[in-house]
Amino acid sequence: MAQVLEFKLPDLGEGLTEAEIVRWLVDVGDVVTIDQPVVEVETAKAMVEVPCPYGGVVTARFGEEGAELPVGAPLLTVAVESAEGAAAPGTSASGPSADRNTGSGEGLRPAGDGTGPAGESSGNVLVGYGTAAPAARRRRVRPSAFTAPLSSAPAPAPAPSSSPTPGTGAGEPMTAASTAAGASASASASTSAPAPASVARSSSVAPVAPVAPVAVGHSSAADSGQMEGADENHGPVAVISPLVRRLARQHGLDLRHIAGSGRDGLILRADVESAIRGADDKRSDDPEVQSVSESEPVAGAGERIPLRGVRGAVADKLSRSRREIPDATCWVDADATELMAARAAMNGAGTGTGGAAPKISVLALLARICTAALSRYPELNSTVDADAREIVRLPAVHLGFAAQTERGLVVPVVRDAHSRNAESISEEIGRLTEAARAGKLTPAQLTGGTFTLNNYGVFGVDGSTPIINHPEAAMLGVGRIVAKPWVHQGELAVRQVVQLSLTFDHRVCDGGTAGGFLRYVADCVEQPALLLRAL
């Protein structure tokens, strides 16, 4: 007996509220298995392949490639042949005795992520699917006080069965009528929204005309999960993302007058951008505006590129850093000739029967120097709790390093860098860099850093004043290593010189501490033997 189950965009963690569809991995009519990746999405953190918790035939897909969906919006529907193949989220596919989704903590996670020992979760569980949380604590999508425009294109319907099956219209909530979860969702429906009409058993579903959002004079606890809040004297608006709200405010748009194209009338960034373009078109048709444009350029008339995905996340983080952190920068030139010679000797050494030693990068040596310096100056491996007015010194060094990719600037994190040697750090940097260039870094690999190393010398520049990676307290910048005239042992010589710059949060330390840290780093660059004391 077939039934159709809806798979919604899960909570990918790290406070993300939306994701963009990059590439569909399955088509309508394809047979999928449990935990098979079905779509590749891009969040503000990383590219993630999203696996489906159901096994069966794909009956509908919601959203084209390039579309942006909020968390909780439907991704696809799957027709399953039996209850065993269609376990509800958070339950086992074969009953309480099954191993897959019981108390072991193993659940739905991005493809390719490894897990720890048996019985331990990888930590990348997609919230709402594949975990064994009690039903009372399970995430549930509640009815909103807004009605949503539904797609005019009907999706393929599941095979007829003896029990009613939900419809497949785009954006229409779908649950299995025979499951307890579906009954619970029906019982908790808000009285302020009309109940959906029952769906007849047929081979197609008639399209539903779009309905404009209906303003509501009050918001309930059920509404708060889908509405950001109320503008002053404006009432509630169906917006999840604060970026969407800010974009509308910057362009003087009233969100109450914008019809959302998302689920339950949710206003997406694309809706606001469309309203902005419409406003620009109206201004272009205005003779007064045209006369102004003939005499002087109109502000904002150029190409508009949305700040979204990685670019938007970088913009938000750097802006917050500038607003909240009173930073200062100091720098010094260092003779890196001995460091380069030491690296050449390390890479030229063999390992006996094991063959040549793995190559160690300059960045890895600098990272090892940083961990040694942070052990001497722990003030810079900290963060500031502004609400509590406390400086929090962190026990472990999770070293981030800036990496430029086709998707923009990302900062992968080398975990527990303080306990690694140069070879281990070099291998981890190489692994993370390769994953970054392939767009396969997970949110967990891009967060949690305590100190950042930024090698902008790869761009052929000597110096910079980097912006601190909030909420960290410092960042070390490294320029290019280039041959320059240098006084060495009392004589003028050509040496390999590098400029080092340290930007630090002046709340965690003063210039003496920052200068001491930077001077120790420069000394280790000039005399790598000093690192032997830190081993």
Neighbours of 526 (CB within 10 A): 17
Query: For residue 362, which amino acid is it?
Result: V
* 96-101 own/partner pairs: CB under 8 Å, 24+ apart: 100/34, 101/130, 101/131, 101/132
Question: Does the annotation mark 488 as catalytic?
Answer: no
**Catalytic position from the list 27, 35, 506, 523:** 506
Neighbours of 470 (CB within 10 A): 19
3-state secondary structure of 278: helix
**Catalytic position from the list 99, 254, 416, 510:** 510
Contact 1, 163 (CB under 8 A): yes
Is the backbone of residue 439 left (phi > 0), alpha (psi -120 to 50) or beta? left
How far apart are the C-alpha atoms of 237 and 265, rounded to whole Å?
A: 10
Question: Does the annotation mark 510 as catalytic?
Answer: yes
**Cα distance between the two ends of the chain:** 65
Contact 300, 277 (CB under 8 A): no
How far apart are the C-alpha atoms of 488 and 335, rounded to whole Å?
A: 9
DSSP state of 315: H
Question: What string of DSSP letters covers 318-332?
Answer: HHHHHHH--EEEEEE
- Show Cβ contacts of residue 531 under 8 Å, excluding neighbours closer than 6 positions: 368, 369, 372, 524
Torsion, Cα of 458, 494, 518, 396 (10° steps) = 50
Active site residues per annotation = 506, 510
